[in-house]
Amino acid sequence: MIKTLAKSIREFKLQSFLSAIFVALEVIFEVSIPWVMARLIDYGIEKSDMAYVYRFGGLLFLFAILQMLCGIACAYFATVAGSGFGKNLRRDLFKKIQEFSFHNVDTFSAGSLVTRLTEDVTFIQQAFQMMIRGTVRGIFMLIFSIVAAFLINARIARIFVIVAVILAIGIAIISRLAFPIFDKLFKAIDRMNNCLSENIRAIRVVKTFNREEYEINKFTAITDDIKKYSVKGEQYMVLGYPAMQLVSFTCIIAVAWIGSKAVIASGNNPDLGFTTGQMMSLIAYGLQILMSLMMTSMAFVMFIISAESAKRIYEVLLTNSDIVDSPNPITEIKNGSIEFKNVNFKYSSTAQKNVLSNINLKIESGQTIGIMGATGSGKTSLISLLPRFYDTLSGEVLIGGVNVKDYQLKALRDSIGMVLQKNVLFSGTIADNLRFGNKSASYEEMAKAADIACASEFINEKEGKYDSTVEQGGSNFSGGQRQRLCIARAILKNPKILIFDDSTSAVDTKTESKIRSGLRDIYPNVTKIIIAQRVSSVMEADKIIIMDDGKILAFGTHNELLKTSDIYRDIYETQVKEAA
């Protein structure tokens, strides 16, 4: 896991390394200071040698300055490396998510992916920064201080080792208890993000149904959970701090107790035995050792939290899209003919019933096909198999006589222009949105597509024309305008197959008929699939598919279906009567 995540350090390896080097230097100076102090007291002050005091005083000052400079350098490099690592990790995750299939996204849930990309990466970034600075510092300091303390007086220094072991055991116990709570905490944050993004996306629906109260209660329940787990987790963590203080000061008292006895016994003579200066430096080392233990344990807490985050990020990085190119993919799509051969399909492998069963269908290139059927009958599912949003459970889907799985995904999707049932516009300008279909489209090309989609009329009325702003989600356009922009965007792709999934539901029948005839005249070779609720939208089509409960119930022209399909005749008669 660590190896996979560490790959994202990339160009920031040097900074990470420099940060560790500078922190090591910082520690060396810091550990030297008590030693210089001891000499200054024992040889300078005790023997009233002013020259010695000046010399070692100067040295003390120099060490302090150097320690500070190294500290600053280390902080700088650690910050650069940490932020850089965070940036790379976010980018890698984002790239991975772009490769995900619909099924992958469904499995993780959108909210969870958001948490992973934001909160989890921040934790990892902090932990990494802490590691290259705090942990390295803590460990170096621990080692150097213990060595220095042993050099001064091995007998007393043993106390430190005992204390260190006791503390380490304590920390290990606390982290074991806290670990599962952090797991729950992160799951609750996932739920919060899911709830939040769903609510904001559907805020209009919430208001229409006066569901604010309900939504607030739902959200509050989740935030209560977050609070509960945060408090629980923190409780264990704060427990560690006072316990550590207690142990630390008991340790200092022990050193002072045993040390002062030794000083008195040796007559405070540096050449004979233990001295005041040595005892002072030993206490300083003791404090440094405990400080570094504290620091390491804090870093450890960070690691506990971040281990959970790391696991969650690792899961995303490890997941490979279940829809990928075949080994030698075909990049050329001959034409827009479509064939379904004994196709069965369901969204989840555990679902009992198939969403599509036993679909057999042949569509010639350039034909216009209408699809009708009750909601949930599988219309959207059927067309989702063409660009391989999902793969079939069994059977084959062929385009241009070739199984869709044998095409290069990019080429396949490039050749299909699709207006989704839930169409989306992005914030930017109209031109930005249209160019989603074709990066390099000129204004003339955009105007031509907009003409066919009957979008020119309202685009040209805007002050900025094609450079007018589109708010997030296209909220500053009406439903019908949005649909027409999405149609123009799909046409601009210059595809071999054009699919409209209920894409003219918000457009009036006259405009709709204009769009249809425009498409027929200008793109005679493009296969057009129109899913619709209105008979008028499909009755001029070459063939009409009637779907019911995941099966094709009837397939034929308007006149044929009027004779053979009861459902079609019923729909036709009710709609025509209503219109009359």
Nearest residue to Mg ion, using CB? 380
Residue 529 CB, nearest approach to ligand ATP (Å): 12
H or E stretch covering 79: helix 50-99
8 Å CB contact between 140 and 294: no
**180 contact, one of ligand ATP, Mg ion, none, CB 5-8 Å limit per kind:** none
Judged by CB, which is closer to ligand ATP: 378, or 400? 378
**58 contact, one of Mg ion, ligand ATP, none, CB 5-8 Å limit per kind:** none
- DSSP symbol at 436: T
Judged by CB, which is closer to ligand ATP: 152, or 547? 547
Residue 221 CB, nearest approach to ligand ATP (Å): 26
Spatial distance between the Cα atoms of 489 and 434, rounded to a whole number of angstroms: 5
What lies within 8 Å, CB to CB, of 238 at 6+ separation is: none
**34 contact, one of ligand ATP, Mg ion, none, CB 5-8 Å limit per kind:** none
**381 contact, one of Mg ion, ligand ATP, none, CB 5-8 Å limit per kind:** ligand ATP
- DSSP symbol at 401: T
How distant, in Å, are the alpha carbons of 23, 28, 81, 288, 310 from that of 75?
9, 16, 10, 19, 23
Spatial distance between the Cα atoms of 13 and 11, rounded to a whole number of angstroms: 6
Spatial distance between the Cα atoms of 425 and 440, rounded to a whole number of angstroms: 18
**84 contact, one of ligand ATP, Mg ion, none, CB 5-8 Å limit per kind:** none
**378 contact, one of ligand ATP, Mg ion, none, CB 5-8 Å limit per kind:** ligand ATP
Exposed e or buried b per residue across 61-95, where buried means at least 16 C-beta atoms within 10 angstroms of its C-beta: eebeebbeebbebbbebbebbbebbbebbbebbee
Residue 552 CB, nearest approach to ligand ATP (Å): 12
Judged by CB, which is closer to ligand ATP: 48, or 375? 375
Spatial distance between the Cα atoms of 275 and 271, rounded to a whole number of angstroms: 9
Please tell me the count of residues contacting Mg ion according to CB under 5 A.
2
Judged by CB, which is closer to Mg ion: 421, or 533? 421
Judged by CB, which is closer to Mg ion: 414, or 501? 501
Task: Please tell me whether residue 522 adopts helix, strand or coil conformation.
Answer: helix
DSSP characters over 415-431? TEEEE-SS----SEEHH
Helix residue ranges, H only, 428-497: 430-434, 443-452, 456-461, 479-491
Residue 527 tokens read as: 């296969």
Tell me the window of 227-235, 261-269, 375-383, 446-454 that interacts with Mg ion (CB under 5 A): 375-383
Angle at 357 between CA 346 and CA 528, to 5 degrees: 90
Question: Applying CB under 5 A, does 380 fall inside the site for Mg ion?
Answer: yes
Residue 530 tokens read as: 């129109």
Binding site for ligand ATP (CB under 6 A): 106, 347, 355, 373, 375-381, 421
Residue 375 CB, nearest approach to Mg ion (Å): 7
Tell me the window of 197-205, 380-388, 427-435, 572-580 that interacts with Mg ion (CB under 5 A): 380-388
Residue 390 CB, nearest approach to ligand ATP (Å): 8
8 Å CB contact between 345 and 356: yes
Judged by CB, which is closer to ligand ATP: 41, or 545? 545
DSSP characters over 260-296? HHHHHHHTT-TTTS--HHHHHHHHHHHHHHHHHHHHH
**565 contact, one of Mg ion, ligand ATP, none, CB 5-8 Å limit per kind:** none
**135 contact, one of ligand ATP, Mg ion, none, CB 5-8 Å limit per kind:** none
Residue 548 CB, nearest approach to Mg ion (Å): 14
Residue 501 CB, nearest approach to Mg ion (Å): 6
Sketch the per residue contact string, 409 through 438, with Mg ion: x for CB under 5 A, - otherwise.
Answer: ------------x-----------------
Judged by CB, which is closer to Mg ion: 98, or 375? 375
Residue 393 CB, nearest approach to ligand ATP (Å): 13
Residue 376 CB, nearest approach to ligand ATP (Å): 4
Residue 495 CB, nearest approach to Mg ion (Å): 20
Residues in contact with Mg ion by the rule CB under 5 A: 380, 421
